[in-house]
Structure 1
Amino acid sequence: MTTTTPKPDRSQPIWVPDPDQARASTLADFSSFADERFAAGVENPLDYTGLWTWSTEHIADFWEAVWTFFGIHSHTPYTNALTEETMPGAQWFSGSTVNYAEYALTNEHTDSPALICIQEDRRETTVTWTELRSRVAALAVTLRQYGVAQGDRVVGYLPPGQHAVIGFLAAASIGAIWSQCAQDFAATAVIDRFGQLEPTVLIAADGYSYNGRHYDRRDELATIRRGLPTVEHTIVVDHHTPDAFAGEKYTDVIQWNEAVDFDAVPNFTPVPFDHPLWVLFSSGTTGLPKGIVHSHGGVLLSLLSLLGLHMDLRSGDRLFWYTSTNWMMWNVVVSSLLTGATAVIYDGSPTFPDAGTLWRIADTHDVTFLGTSPGHLQACERAALVPKDNFDLSSLRTIGSTGSTLPAASYHWVHDNVGAHIQLSSTTGGTDAVTAFACSAPTTPVWPGELSARGLGIAMEAWDGDGHPLLGEVGELVITKPVPSMPVFFWNDPDGQRYHDAYFAHYPGVWRHGDWVAISTGGSVVMNGRSDSTLNRHGVRLGSSEIYQAVEKLPQIVESLIVGVDESEGSYWMPLFVVLADGIELDDNLVAEIRTIIRTQASPRHVPDEVIAVRSLPHTRTGKKIEVPLKRILQGAARDDVLSIDSIDDAAAVDQFVTLGNARRSALATPTTP
């Protein structure tokens, strides 16, 4: 079986690091430190390839260097940085006791901002480091008074602002386990997740605003409260209505201010390195969401490497990554506190009242690192926005993008319309390991359509089906050595079978991530879509991302989705579904234009059998396309057998595919008249 290879723009790098700025980076300091203290053999601190090679060939030394360089404090001595390199089951820093919240909140900052929280109506709240420590300490006292102890679960049904941050840090400070859902989740979806954890405390807001509209969640809160019988206490964030439970009265409900508005001294509980910090949930599109458990020490190490070394965040920086509490990027944003940076958090629509919203926030708050998604950047391009002409982005040095593949055209758009001085960092990783497998670094150039480098300490390779490494060819993204932030276990998976099957069943002892990827001889990375949604036309595997990158350049196309359907009579049908811009019709001329751009920018094999206009496309709650469930629906599977409708942002969009699939199969079953 052959595989198509991606064709990134390799004419010249679109961004090259300034040598003086690169030498002033934390990464360069770390490289010199690793060479001096751990004999890394990297004499030039700007030699990223050499540093990456050492970090993956000597992973125990690398992660111990990260531990030492960032001054992680253990209340008890550890024996070894890494006991075994096995996956799953690697043991990191055995004997150590740490606390994520203690590291995040123990620093020299006082009255400078730790959090800047912005609501859609432009109301803002700034929380200083002193205020953050005080409120976390007070809420921890409240939780202890409720009987919450190490290992108990505290959950939040909250917008992404200060209340979620304080709730998480307070739970972590006492060794409790945190989990959360955004408020656009229906009550049943929340119960599907939180019910697995059997939490004792619920922190919830009574409503939220999005895209200019207020959403009252009082009824959902009442349903959630009834659906979680283990919850003994509820803390209500009163955004809009004093009675958050629509007339139902509970003696165990208090308002947020009662839980945090008193003086308290921080008191952190030391926990073992691998003690659970939080539970993140999979999308749940194909069944009950999986509870993915990460540890205090693992998250602390991996995110210090990502945020401190790769993203070069430090005291004085401001990180603003648009996210909701449903997405692991919220956890990354909060973890910017580990570096002393300020977390800028926005609660609202990224395009309300217009496409300039995120850029306006970056301007107003002197953001140094702005994170977003390919979809948002493409929406700005379609809106003909030129941020450099409309906003003062002189503080901005880096733009991050993740969530899906970033096309080469978006690199050029950022360069031309945001600023040539800005480093564009496309990133891949995920909820599974809550870090980046490939991203950029202050010392690496940026090529259009490529991720600059594999992450430090990340032994990432592309493998063929037989487990052979590939260079310059598309293969399965695998991680061959353990990473501290890999899950310690899945919730309710006592024998570890679900965890094993999720990552290690295909290549024993090696993490298979489920993405197609190509790695160049120079170490840069090109993503080629999900391997479980790969198109397979006559034995040739085709990546869907190449088609999306071509089609979505057309101004007439808002979004697209392609699937390959194995049909009952043995044929293979590869339709392309498109959402059209306002006022556009799918006529023969547009279909021809779509086919031509795919043929010329991907290959003739990528050209779809049919182009079909749909009103909208469904996504997971974190904005990802759901090719596999839609493919199965088109093949005849019942909608509710292949996805949980509560995990989807637009149920009506799914029903379009049910109708299309029924019509397609009916037409195929009807005998043709000779």
Structure 2
Amino acid sequence: MSTPLWTPSANRIANSRLKAFEAWLAEKHQLAFDDYQSLHQWSVDNPESFWESVWQFCNVKAHSPYGKVLEHGGTFPTCGEPSAAWFPGATLNFAENLLRRRDDKIAIVGLLENGQRRELSYAELYTQVEQLAHTLREQGVEAGDRVAGFMPNIPETVVAMLAATSIGAIWSSCSPDFGFQGVMDRFDQIQPKVLFAVDGYFYNGKTINTLDRVKSIADAIGSVESVIVTSVTCARTDLTSIVKAIHFPDALNPAAAPLHFAALPFDHPLYIMYSSGTTGTPKCIVHSAGGTLLQHLKEHQLHTDIGPDDVLFYFTTCGWMMWNWLVSGLASECTLVLFDGSPFAKRGRLLLDAIDREGITVFGTSAKFIAALEKAGHKPSQDYQLASLKTILSTGSPLSHESFDYVYRDFKQDVCLSSISGGTDII
């Protein structure tokens, strides 16, 4: 038998969220398992009991309870209609579950390639969402409306998504490196009422202006009634050329009414994502609020062992589902580290520096990035302490066995390295 690359210590196992889940099952439901395989098999054989347990263990916040866990719909659908309904009767709000913590703990650290760094506490995040949601309601945004983001991976994007979804609006986003037609192929299908946009971004040592594209997009999509612009590349961008445009800070109403979270069905639409567009116009993929929340709570806490003491980072743009996955970490009360720019800035050292400086415990990246570090001759274990780092996640493509060897040889020996799957269709 081959030797495992890594085995968790007895202490790590004993203090894991998965072990806590197992103990919770024993206490609440008198279920006992001899090993992980038997616990996993139980979850497969008893999907209703498993998902109800995830709901309860992860403390999903609901406005009204579910009548049953699963309502079967008979035969497998042939025309796109779902064959089953999960948690019928339950109402909840996605944003409320991500904003369950409202104290001075740091919720978000925002990093830019040019060195800019900002922090938002959970209390500050809640206040900004409250202020922005008030403005969106004043602009006529209602449950079911679409709100689009042509935005980089910065704190304002998270605030915008949470404000929209607190109302029950459906969020959809593209990265600002998308060209005009790429954005139109996506947003023109969904007809957003509000467009969040950015004046530009920093990438690979360059400053890229996006304001002309913002104007073209806003002019071309007839449904857009308001454009809310964040200034990244300058102090305050001149918006006179864009009809109905306001600055993001001006959309934060200091006299906002208390934040009201709309109570919505479990299967209420939350996100619209898109297929790659390799076989024609990108196809819309709709994900529900309850399904996304429960899936991410399960993946974060039971798969990735994320809790309130963790600092979670994933390199992603807002055009990739890993951004949606990352942001859901707020529901597990951890700190998110957002980065916008090139992952290879300063030969990759910018992201490696962040591990020690921010105390990152879960570092998410791509197989390409890990391979590039090895090719460049980086030996992080020699140049960094990496004391906080407990998990490295890789996705986007399968991680080669050479990269596994590189991580345990030159990155860190005591780390859980997982080649995971994202998946636009399963979020």
- Residue 21 of structure 1 aligns with an amino acid whose one-letter code is R
Q: Could you tell me which of 239, 249, 266 is aligned with 1:257?
A: 249
Does the CA-based 8 Å contact 1:320-1:371 persist in structure 2?
yes
1:52 aligned to 2:40? yes
Aligned counterpart in structure 2 of residue 147 of structure 1, from 140, 143, 157: 140
2:83 match: 89
Task: Map residues 213-362 of structure 1 onto 2, 5 A cutoff.
Answer: 213-240=206-233, 242-243=236-237, 248-250=241-243, 252-260=244-252, 262-264=254-256, 265-362=258-355
Do 2:203 and 2:341's aligned partners in 1 also have CA atoms closer than 8 Å?
A: yes
Q: 1:182 to 1:249 in 2, by over 3 A?
A: closer
Name the amino acid aligned to 1:101.
A
Aligned-pair CA distance for 1:38: 3.4
Distance in 1 (alpha carbons) for counterparts of 2:56 and 2:110: 32
- 1:12 is matched with which residue? 3
**1:174 aligns to 2:167 (yes or no):** yes
Report the TM-score when normalising by structure 1: 0.61
CA distance in 1, matches of 2:328, 2:350: 24
**Counterpart code for 2:254:** F
Residue 103 of structure 1 pairs with residue 94 of structure 2: no
SS of the aligned residue for 2:159 comes to helix
Aligned amino acid, residue 140 of structure 2: G
Question: Counterparts of 1:115-514 in structure 2 under 5 Å?
Answer: 115-240=108-233, 242-243=236-237, 248-250=241-243, 252-260=244-252, 262-264=254-256, 265-434=258-427
Which residue in 2 is equivalent to 1:651?
Answer: none
1:38–1:61 Cα contact (<8 Å) kept: no
Deviation of residue 258 (structure 1)? 0.7
CA deviations over 1:537-567 (Å, ceiling 9, x no partner): xxxxxxxxxxxxxxxxxxxxxxxxxxxxxxx
Mark the CA change 1:157 to 1:429 in structure 2 (over 3 Å): closer, same or farther: closer
**Structure 2 counterpart of 1:79, which letter?**
G
Aligned to 2:52: 64
User: Structure 1: how far apart are the matches of 2:328 and 2:279?
Assistant: 30
Q: Which letter maps to 1:134?
A: T
Residue-by-residue CA offset, 1:133-162 (whole Å, 9 max, x unaligned):
000011100000000000001101000110
* CA distance 1:298–1:104, change in 2 (3 Å): same
Query: CA–CA distance in 2 between the matches of 1:124 and 1:115?
Result: 10
Is the CA contact (8 Å cut-off) linking 1:236 and 1:244 kept in structure 2? no
Corresponding position of 1:489 = none
**Structure 1, residues 58-111: CA drift from partner, whole Å, max 9, x if none?**
00000000011111122122111111286543210000000111011122x411
Which amino acid in the other structure matches residue 424 of structure 1? L
**Partner amino acid for 2:403?**
S
SS in 2 for 1:284: coil
Aligned to 2:85, the other structure's residue is in SS state: coil
1:77 equivalent in alignment to 2:77: no
Secondary structure of residue in 2 paired with 1:236: strand
Amino acid at match of 2:399: L
Q: Aligned partners of 1:289, 1:350: CA distance in 2, in Å?
A: 26
Equivalents in 2 of 1:18, 1:33: separation in Å?
21
How far apart, CA to CA, are the structure 1 residues paired with 2:238 and 2:30?
59
Percent identity, aligned pairs only? Answer: 39
- 298-307 or 349-358: bigger deviation: 349-358
Secondary structure of the residue aligned to 2:277 is coil
Q: What do the CA deviations read for 1:138-197 (whole angstroms, capped 9, x no partner)?
A: 110000000000000110100011011001011110100000000000011101101111
* CA displacement at 1:34 relative to structure 2: 2.0
In the alignment, structure 2 segments of 5+ residues that lack a partner are 77-81
SS in 2 for 1:428: coil
Q: CA deviation at 1:347?
A: 0.6
Q: 1:466-615 alignment to 2 at 5 Å?
A: none
**How far apart, CA to CA, are the structure 1 residues paired with 2:32 and 2:231?**
56
Cross-structure match for 1:30 = 21
| CA deviation after TM superposition for structure 1 residue 54, in Å | 0.3
Q: CA deviation at 1:31?
A: 1.2
Q: Residue 96 of structure 1 aligns to which amino acid in structure 2?
A: A
Higher helix fraction (1 or 2): 2
Q: Distance in 2 between matches of 1:78 and 1:385?
A: 52
Residue aligning to 1:629: none
Tell me the TM-score normalised to structure 2 length: 0.95
Report SS of the residue matched to 1:83.
strand
Amino acid in the other structure paired with 1:89: S
**Distance of aligned partners of 1:151 and 1:375 in 2 relative to their CA distance in 1, 3 Å threshold:** same
Q: Match of 1:84, as an amino acid?
A: H
Q: What secondary structure does 2:273 align onto?
A: strand
For residues 354 and 261 of structure 1, do their structure 2 counterparts lie closer, same or farther at Cα, with a shift above 3 Å needed?
A: farther
How far off is 1:39 after superposition? 4.6
Larger-gyration structure (1/2): 1
Uncovered stretches (5+) of structure 1, i.e. residues with no partner:
1-9, 435-674
The 8 Å contact of residues 135 and 253 in structure 2, kept in 1 or not, is answered as: no
Give the secondary-structure state (helix, strand or coil) at the position aligned to 1:424: strand
1:19 deviation in Å?
A: 1.5
Deviations 1:6-45 (A, max 9, x none): xxxx621100111221011111110122233335442x4x
Q: Secondary structure at the match of 2:62?
A: coil
Answer yes or no: is the 8 Å Cα contact 1:157–1:205 preserved in 2.
yes
Contact 1:154/1:171 (8 A) holds in 2: yes
Deviation of residue 423 (structure 1)? 0.8
